[in-house]
Structure 1
Amino acid sequence: MKAQELFPYTFDEAFKRPVAYFSMEFAIDQALKTYSGGLGFLAGSHMRSVNDRRQNTIGVGILWSYGYYDQGRHEDNTLKVEYRRKFYYFLKETGITVEVEINGKPVFVKAYLLPAETFESAPVILLSTDIFENDHLSRTITHKLYDANEETRVAQEIVLGIGGTRVLKALGLDIDIYHLNEGHALPLAFELMKEYPELEELKKHIVFTTHTPEMAGNETHDAHFLERMGFFNGFSLDEVREKLDYHDADFSLTVGALKVSKRANAVSKIHEKVANEMWKNVPGRCEIISITNAQNMRYWSDKQLMSWMLEHEDYQLVGRKKHLKHQLFEEVADQTGKLFDPDVLTLVWARRFAEYKRPKLLIRDMERFKALIHNSEYPIQIIWAGKPYPLDQQAINEFNDLVRMSREFKNVAVLTGYELRLSKLLKQGSDVWLNTPRWGREASGTSGMSAGINASVHFSIDDGWHAEFGKDGVNSFTIPHADPSLPVEEIDRIDYERMMEKLEKVILPTYYDQPDKWLEIVKNGMNDIYIGFNTQNMVERYYKELYNYEPETEG
């Protein structure tokens, strides 16, 4: 299979350098369940913009037989985690199967192709071990995204990194730059090390995007365990330690990626500072710059909303927004039996459920929340949605607490099935998109971009991308963060008070009493996001600042 068979377009001259983008998840279409959350949403937008900008980039991921999980409900409406086998008849056979060694035994990896024209994305290679050539245990490696078993998780990374690199070679693709979207595909460095034994030469071909300041998201394993599993691809631990000058007992995938890459990027300007501080004591690490995450507006934006915003057709924009709210409210009614009103301000909190994102901040003071919900002068409707990690019992408990709380109110809903389809409905149908992380812990937070482009005003802690975008009361609303050195309980108290003050005293009165000003804020936000936070800009910066970066010519 030749490159011209994979790409149905001629490459832009500025983007001809061949790149392979490795990611554990890709959110490309609702029909393809190869993602869990924000990392996949970013990767999906990246692949769409590769197509838009005619770049020579191919995606490499894993074909998850059971996806992440299906979010269902028990009889009492609380969260039910369900696994169902997925089938994809739109994928193509490549005819390629490669072999990798995992835990001392051979495992066969079959490659499928998502053609570029199927969903107007880059071509994406998807890998599976769930084939008859493997025994049962080996087949389960690619069953579930982010399997909780440590051996399975590392096996997945070997399949992605080593298996994916071997598939690209078998396809006859002459890849120059290997882009690690997070550290999961790091084993590819040890496959390439056989071709480029000198570290400085190896570094010329690898770049790295780090997505989270959360230590839980920066995976580590016992170094001897990784050696036994085959993570280092036949290199002994002593050889790896000598080559990388990395002697810790626990091996961090992030540290390893920083040591084998020519350059890395954080995903916002704040995150750049946080990441450089986190990893400042790593000897021999590459430079970490910031390339702020973005979203593909061709996919996420409602075309009529965008058209009327650009043409200054305010009446049509307002009417279209009400129509989109109707569409969302049909889903609310179907799931909860509640009929929401399109004339009422609708606030949405929807993203991955994690403790630091504070999904329950709005109900910190239940009496004040009840007063907000029952305010007849400035009515409000609130929707929560999102997927907790299936073994994160605290996050699941928080989700279920919200479900039980929502039963008391006809204007509060908690929705399940937070995947691309529901995410788009929520972003297009909301009036306000709420983001409540503790400051410094939200690396980017891209969901607000795809909400804002759909006339939903971003209301956020001044963290991640919002700190680069937000002009309080002009294109969004900002919650000034508490001093991060304070105790967590005090941070949450202060952030809550500031959030509620802004919501009660500014946002709701503006929406109802000053509709012209509200519309101006909406349009300013749409315009600023369209100009500054489209992945077409992001992928251009990837080429200019990562792929084409040559350290030896700097300075």
Structure 2
Amino acid sequence: FTTHTPVPAGNETYDRELVRRYLGPWAQDVGADAEAALALGTEGGQFNLTVLAIRLSSHVNGVSKLHGQVSSAMWRHLWPGAPESPVSAITNGVHTETWVGPEMRALYAQNIHANWEEHLLEPELWSRVAEVPDNELWAAHRSQKERLVRFVRERVRMQSARHGLAPDDLRGVERLLDPRALTIGFARRFATYKRAVLILSDLDRLRAVLGDAERPVQLVFAGKAHPADRAGQDVIRRLFLLTQGEFRGKIVFLEDYDMEVARMMVQAAARSRPSTAASTSASSTAGGSRASGARTAGPSAGTPGPTPRRRTRKTPPSSTSSWKRKWSRSSSRRTRTGCATAGSAG
């Protein structure tokens, strides 16, 4: 089981009586103990899908080393007496070709290798990035940034029209963002632990940075909050109000965050923090925009990391064993579905 969000909003819970209503008939059909099944997911008087998935799995991992440590501390009580960290770490990967823009692809093909996509794990080859002419690298980056600006203007125009913005204001959207300015992107779920609001903690400093005429900076935000994450929704609301107030034109928020938005921002922003179901922020950034701003490496997949650790099986909490065997024999498909549902909360 791969655990994801280490905040309550990302670990769904349900009333035990509601779960009993639907679980009871199924348990009777397969000859299982409904109360034992209910106990597997019980945590703090509620039925917790993450707890259920952990107790039904022989191995649990986070999606990065730090996340594994945080998750171990968060769920340690489910393994009483266990001598080791119960949650391991398997760092997410990234599909490099999804995130590299057309201009950078052409640059890699010309300066690195005609079939660079097939040589991502050869650091000697990627050392050639240092030999790419500055003007060619900058031209590719500028082209991708100009495409992002056009994309943002069109998206903001559509969302502004949907909100009933006046025609004069809609025309002003065409002047939104400066292709020459340093563009910083933040595109991910607005869970509070991802700290999107950190940049708003010192508004005086933010005004100074965004108001510097000689070194212009602009911010592009995109993302969604979990339906039950009120704090995350409040962050989005606060950001949106800033885009309509004194930081209008300097801070942009894109609604309806999706893969297309993430791809545009990764390819063009000087520094971006994207997050999608298919990639992690650190790895996908290097595959696009960071490669255009740093001369030391190619896509992140081109830099080999440490040898992956062999996955070892860990014994789940002992109280789950008998019912887990019955669950597995009677409905292995349901077991997989239950774990996937809990894991997808991230």
With the length of structure 2 as denominator, give the TM-score of the two structures: 0.65
Identify if the C-alpha distance between structure 1 residues 362 and 434 changes in structure 2 by more than 3 Å, giving closer, same or farther: farther
| Contact 1:232–1:240 (CA under 8 A) maintained in structure 2 | no
**Larger deviation, residues 422-431 vs 445-454:** 445-454
Give 3-state SS (helix, strand or coil) of 1:360's partner.
Answer: helix
In structure 1, what is the Cα distance between the partners aligned to 2:60 and 2:52?
12
Query: Could you say which residue in structure 2 is the equivalent of 1:388?
Result: 225
Q: Which amino acid aligns with 2:294?
A: V
Does 2:160 correspond to 1:330?
Answer: no
Identify if the C-alpha distance between structure 1 residues 211 and 524 changes in structure 2 by more than 3 Å, giving closer, same or farther: farther
| Pairing 1:182-221 to 2, within 5 Å after superposition | 208-221=1-14
Query: Could you say which residue in structure 1 is the equivalent of 2:72?
Result: 276
Deviation at 1:434, TM superposition (A): 5.0
Give 3-state SS (helix, strand or coil) of 2:284's partner.
Answer: helix
Q: 2:104 aligns with which of 297, 301, 305?
A: 305
Identify if the C-alpha distance between structure 1 residues 352 and 525 changes in structure 2 by more than 3 Å, giving closer, same or farther: farther
In structure 2, what is the Cα distance between the partners aligned to 1:233 and 1:358?
42
Does 2:36 correspond to 1:251?
Answer: no
Identify if the C-alpha distance between structure 1 residues 525 and 255 changes in structure 2 by more than 3 Å, giving closer, same or farther: farther
Does 2:128 correspond to 1:291?
Answer: no
In structure 1, what is the Cα distance between the partners aligned to 2:242 and 2:43?
50
* Structure with greater proportional helix content: 2
Q: Which amino acid aligns with 1:323?
A: S
Instruction: Give ranges in structure 2 of 5+ residues lacking alignment.
Output: 113-128, 158-172, 316-346
Q: Which amino acid aligns with 2:182?
A: L
> Deviations along 1:357-411, whole A, 9 cap, x unmatched?
3323222232222211111232112111112335655444432332332233433
In structure 2, what is the Cα distance between the partners aligned to 1:332 and 1:404?
18
Identify if the C-alpha distance between structure 1 residues 525 and 229 changes in structure 2 by more than 3 Å, giving closer, same or farther: farther
Q: Which amino acid aligns with 2:151?
A: E
Give 3-state SS (helix, strand or coil) of 1:346's partner.
Answer: strand
Does 2:295 correspond to 1:523?
Answer: yes
> Deviations along 1:508-529, whole A, 9 cap, x unmatched?
xxxxxxxxxxx6x623354445
Higher relative contact order (CA 8 A, sep 6+): 2
Identify if the C-alpha distance between structure 1 residues 251 and 333 changes in structure 2 by more than 3 Å, giving closer, same or farther: closer
Does 2:281 correspond to 1:447?
Answer: yes
Identify if the C-alpha distance between structure 1 residues 522 and 232 changes in structure 2 by more than 3 Å, giving closer, same or farther: farther
Identify if the C-alpha distance between structure 1 residues 367 and 249 changes in structure 2 by more than 3 Å, giving closer, same or farther: closer
In structure 1, what is the Cα distance between the partners aligned to 2:282 and 2:24?
37
Q: 2:202 aligns with which of 336, 359, 365?
A: 365
Deviation at 1:351, TM superposition (A): 1.4
| Contact 1:241–1:247 (CA under 8 A) maintained in structure 2 | no
Query: Could you say which residue in structure 2 is the equivalent of 1:262?
Result: 58
In structure 2, what is the Cα distance between the partners aligned to 1:219 and 1:411?
36
In structure 2, what is the Cα distance between the partners aligned to 1:294 and 1:432?
19
Query: Could you say which residue in structure 1 is the equivalent of 2:321?
Result: none
| Contact 1:381–1:412 (CA under 8 A) maintained in structure 2 | yes
Does 2:77 correspond to 1:238?
Answer: no
| Contact 2:148–2:268 (CA under 8 A) maintained in structure 1 | yes
| Contact 1:266–1:289 (CA under 8 A) maintained in structure 2 | yes
Does 2:220 correspond to 1:427?
Answer: no
| Pairing 1:123-134 to 2, within 5 Å after superposition | none
Identify if the C-alpha distance between structure 1 residues 346 and 249 changes in structure 2 by more than 3 Å, giving closer, same or farther: closer
Report the aligned-residue RMSD: 3.6
Deviation at 1:306, TM superposition (A): 4.4
**Larger deviation, residues 263-272 vs 364-373:** 364-373
In structure 2, what is the Cα distance between the partners aligned to 1:247 and 1:397?
27
| Contact 2:286–2:299 (CA under 8 A) maintained in structure 1 | no
Give 3-state SS (helix, strand or coil) of 2:196's partner.
Answer: coil
* Structure with greater proportional strand content: 1
> Deviations along 1:174-209, whole A, 9 cap, x unmatched?
xxxxxxxxxxxxxxxxxxxxxxxxxxxxxxxxxx11
| Contact 2:270–2:289 (CA under 8 A) maintained in structure 1 | yes
> Deviations along 1:261-310, whole A, 9 cap, x unmatched?
12121111111122222222214899421101122112222254145356
Query: Could you say which residue in structure 1 is the equivalent of 2:257?
Result: 418
In structure 2, what is the Cα distance between the partners aligned to 1:233 and 1:366?
55
Give 3-state SS (helix, strand or coil) of 1:263's partner.
Answer: coil
| Contact 2:41–2:52 (CA under 8 A) maintained in structure 1 | no
In structure 2, what is the Cα distance between the partners aligned to 1:253 and 1:449?
29
In structure 1, what is the Cα distance between the partners aligned to 2:184 and 2:234?
22
| Contact 1:453–1:525 (CA under 8 A) maintained in structure 2 | no
Give 3-state SS (helix, strand or coil) of 2:153's partner.
Answer: helix
In structure 2, what is the Cα distance between the partners aligned to 1:390 and 1:216?
8
Q: Which amino acid aligns with 1:342?
A: P
| Contact 1:453–1:530 (CA under 8 A) maintained in structure 2 | no
| Pairing 1:397-412 to 2, within 5 Å after superposition | 397-407=234-244, 408=246, 409-412=248-251
**Larger deviation, residues 253-262 vs 279-288:** 279-288
How many pairs does the alignment contain?
A: 265
In structure 2, what is the Cα distance between the partners aligned to 1:391 and 1:280?
25
Query: Could you say which residue in structure 2 is the equivalent of 1:354?
Result: 191
Identify if the C-alpha distance between structure 1 residues 332 and 367 changes in structure 2 by more than 3 Å, giving closer, same or farther: same
With the length of structure 1 as denominator, give the TM-score of the two structures: 0.42
In structure 2, what is the Cα distance between the partners aligned to 1:446 and 1:214?
18
